[in-house]
A and B are shown apart, each in its own frame.
Chain A
Amino acid sequence: MSVGAAKIPVVVTEAVEVNSLIKRFRFVREDGGQMPGFSGGAHTVVEMDDAGTRRLNPYSLMSDPGDRSGYEISVRRDDTGRGGSAYMHREVRPGMKMLISPPVNLFGLDLRAKKHLMIAGGIGITPFLAQMAQLDAMGARFELHYAARDRELGAYMPELSARYGDRVHRYYDAEGQAIDLTTLLAGQPLGTHLYVCGPKGMIGWVLKTAADLGWPAGAVHSEEFLAPPVGQPFTVELAVSGKTITVGAAQSLLEAIEAAGVDAPYLCRGGACGQCETHVIACEGEIEHNDHWLTDDQKAGCRHIMPCVSRFKGAKLVLER
């Protein structure tokens, strides 16, 4: 059970190769109606039936929030991942019917800001595409700093520069270019909000630099969806439903709970939103906490687990589910 409305039946109308790693997909409603409205930074969870394995992956909506005729996402292929992005690249083509969730925004703009400063790394550009369209329509002040490995992998860079001009700053790792973050952050007018989306290392660098320069936590926003890591299979007892399940090596605990027919809450499936938080009744072993949600104290306490991304090693794990 995800929170909120029912899944939306959609038809894929476009599957376009953007570069050697990224494909863009467009979905419209099967019944021809309008998509639910969304705000920049929102994501949808795409349901995949991969040869009998049900996959649910979150992807940021990149299309203009003002356009309710369809949703667009961009998917970066991860060849070492569990297979969701590979499935999107390999199997999804125009005409195919799929199910997607209504939009959820965990990375919204703070519209009280005087200025919006966005920092993107690689595929982390996607939520900003929607946010910039929203801000541009509002006449709000924004600036994008977007780093990619090289010109080929800098998805949408020329289009962004053409549309937003000198509000877009591009950086290519391969050409030795890097964001001069300290100068950039120190020079921002009071009332600026900072947004960062990209690889883990980049997010950590931006958050730490901002904190060191005295940026208040409430003016700094980040989003990183984690893919559930692969690991060793383990066994879990579900106390409320009275079931004992085995979580496969490439399966997440949440997916194993769902596969056993047990209704469990979720929203982002990427360790960010907190919706799937589950009480641990007994734990003889070690929980591998992989989420961004629980505090360090909670992680050390072994009383809570986020089944979407976390795993377990040990003799016995009993959950209140």
Chain B
Amino acid sequence: MSKTDFGPSIKSRPVYGVLSPRPGSSHLIVADGEGGAAVEALFAQAPEMKAKAHLIYIPGANGTDMSTAMAALGAGQYNRAPTYASVRSRIVKVLGDGHMGLQVYATGTESLMGQVQRDAMEAGLPHDAVQTEHRGSLARRVQCVHCKGITENVTTDPFVCSHCGLNLFVRDHYSRRLAAFQGVNIDAEDPGEVPPAEERFK
């Protein structure tokens, strides 16, 4: 079970586990921010997997940067990237060239884990084949259900859609295909009556 307590929720809300080494021909490990600590714990359990591991690390949007430690872990291949979007084509290429037996691990924010899971699913892996472990920020990746625009690193509820400007209520309703929580207009019936934004996803 996840080390982060997300509280009770609906079934749609993703749940996360704790990374553990699995037998496999190679290992793709993607981490952001505080997720670096989960990678250290994973390698400590199974140092022999390092040689067959491809580690991709993205410093957190909150400023957490474990790049120096990650580079020194001894993964067979190591890449640092500024954002998931910037490294996505590399991940898609690794998955596309991969063979069954490749193990996929994702750790850090929900946005990072969701996007790795989405890309693994698009490569044909079952969604539950991706191991996940939540670390660090609770910031969410949210899709505006009205304009379909995605806003990254949403920490408050409600928030203003970065695309269409509607005031959005952040639901626990999650889409694995989009790798995003759903944001729904909160003042559709009474425009302007918006409750004060609370920092719910620090």
Contacts and interface: CB of A to CB of B under 8 A. Distances in A.
Interface of A: 110, 112-115, 185-194, 212-216, 218-219
Contact of B22 (A115, A185, A192, A214): A214
B54 to A, nearest CB: 13
B103 interface: yes
Contacts of A186: 25, 99-101
B124 A185 contact: no
A140 to B, nearest CB: 12
B198 to A, nearest CB: 38
Nearest to B130: A216
Contacts of B24: 213-214
Contact of B124 (A192, A212, A215): A192
A206 to B, nearest CB: 13
Given A114-B123, A191-B123, A218 B128 contact: yes
Interface in B18-76: 22-25
A213 B128 contact: no
A213 B123 contact: no
A185 B127 CA distance: 20
B78 to A, nearest CB: 21
Contact of A188 (B99, B125, B126): B99
A192 B125 CA distance: 8
Contact of B100 (A110, A112, A188): A188
Interface of A (DSSP majority class) = loop
Given A212-B23, A214-B23, A214-B24, A190 B125 contact: yes
Interface string B89-110: 0000001101111110000000
Closest 4 CB pairs of A and B: A191-B124, A218-B126, A216-B129, A214-B24
Interface of B: 22-25, 95-96, 98-103, 121, 123-129
Contact of B25 (A110, A113, A214, A219): A214
A190 B96 contact: yes
A112 B121 CA distance: 9
A145 B124 CA distance: 21
Contacts of A110: 126
Contacts of B22: 214
A192 B100 contact: yes
A193 B125 CA distance: 9
A218 B124 CA distance: 11
Contacts of A188: 99-100
17 contacts: A112-B124, A185-B100, A185-B101, A189-B98, A190-B95, A190-B99, A190-B124, A190-B125, A191-B125, A193-B124, A194-B100, A213-B100, A214-B25, A218-B127, A218-B128, A218-B129, A219-B125
Nearest to A185: B100
A189 B97 CA distance: 7
Nearest to B131: A216
A112 B99 CA distance: 16
A229 B99 CA distance: 40
Contacts of A115: 124
A215 B98 CA distance: 12
Given A114-B123, A215-B100, A218-B126, 4 more contacts: A110-B126, A189-B100, A193-B124, A214-B24
A231 B22 CA distance: 42
A192 B95 CA distance: 12
A190 B23 contact: no
A219 B126 contact: yes
